[in-house]
Structure 1
């Protein structure tokens, strides 16, 4: 951990009266500075320079604190406990316009690639295995980038995810969609057994990465969200990835489903017809969604 952050942050808040609200703000700033410092260090900056630049980018503490609230005013800082709606409105983060435009355009392109890949698999357009694979990989790359880019954005309730970890989420997404592309190409040309093997490997990589990332995910919630406690996670439906046990269960169950599904799909495609693999694929997706729902909303007491 970069120890320069804590010293510089203490210097920045020197002389400021530490009320509970100021302490909360300081912790939020600390988390943002730590995330920004990781980016700068990854870009080649030294720990000291990265910490200094991240602190400088904050601006003045006075601007962060804003105008103080006079005692007796009907405000949460004057003694009134804020509810979730008040806290959400106070801490609301507006989406980055560039991000919104970028993701919208990339989503359209990814959807087009996936739709064309499906049409090619059913021989509506093209029909060659390499066409299905190429379109599927293009869609997988776009969806992987969208996933990583989205996790890099700060939201009202969460801090931005560090670049390296966001990239791993994107890689897991890419591997999962690329596995489907490989299976689709194999369905078109069942003699290309290498495609089925590649799809199986990619599916296992995707499941392994998702399971590991979910089990090792740290708390990115902002201080105001943590104040609300476990009720906020339950309300948002985020218990699956905030509970390592639930994430581990999801990984094991979904892994077993997809390993069995891959074997069954390949066997049925070789023995009977390629479209049986699509039936198995649909069954695996439904079972995975059921497992996800059960682990997401299961009581965390077990």
Structure 2
């Protein structure tokens, strides 16, 4: 096969084009795709090393692929030895953390015990209110801890979530579970304050989950990002921080528009309040044009 020596773009683009040509005609399945992406990561790393010595990127990409060897031979060797311990190449796999498994089992047992107490209180056993409150706390704390701990674990396709963000998701889960537990206690004749507190906790949980989701960035492994990069994308996909700022700006624009709408309604009357909505749409249009299609540095 003929591999092009000159391809536009950076090292990732050169490697991408050469790999596409090397895999031309190959019937792609999950294993073949995994092999291709592992090769891509290794080639990009090698090209980076070669260009650091002064070699041009196209030549470095071609040399890296030559050093890798015959791609089809690697494919044949992999397919001819499909056993997990015998294959010439294995896709990257992250082994489960035994300590995480133990913690999850223990916390799940704690949550199950709390749920059992609540079920017994609702059916056949007269459980004191204090014990029911403790049971709700156990369930909520276990749910929040399991959520945060799970997000901190690296998987085959995802990096671990940063500690602060994982703690945020855990806290949101804890608030939601506690709010539902407080509502349940209200149904058990614990008093109206429990219902009010539960509603506030659920609302706080929803706000926190919304914030975390709106500011969430791509957590995929580097080789997945390299796979997506050559195809190009809009600015929000390439720059998650810009997408997060856009969400914050959007909320600010419409909060101001809503305040202006109320102010105009109370002062100038309904016939002028529509100007606030029009102003909001204009501001959003300008914001999208400025942020989504801004020239790259």
* TM-score normalised by the chain length of structure 1: 0.47
Structure label with greater radius of gyration:
2
- For normalisation by structure 2, the TM-score amounts to 0.48
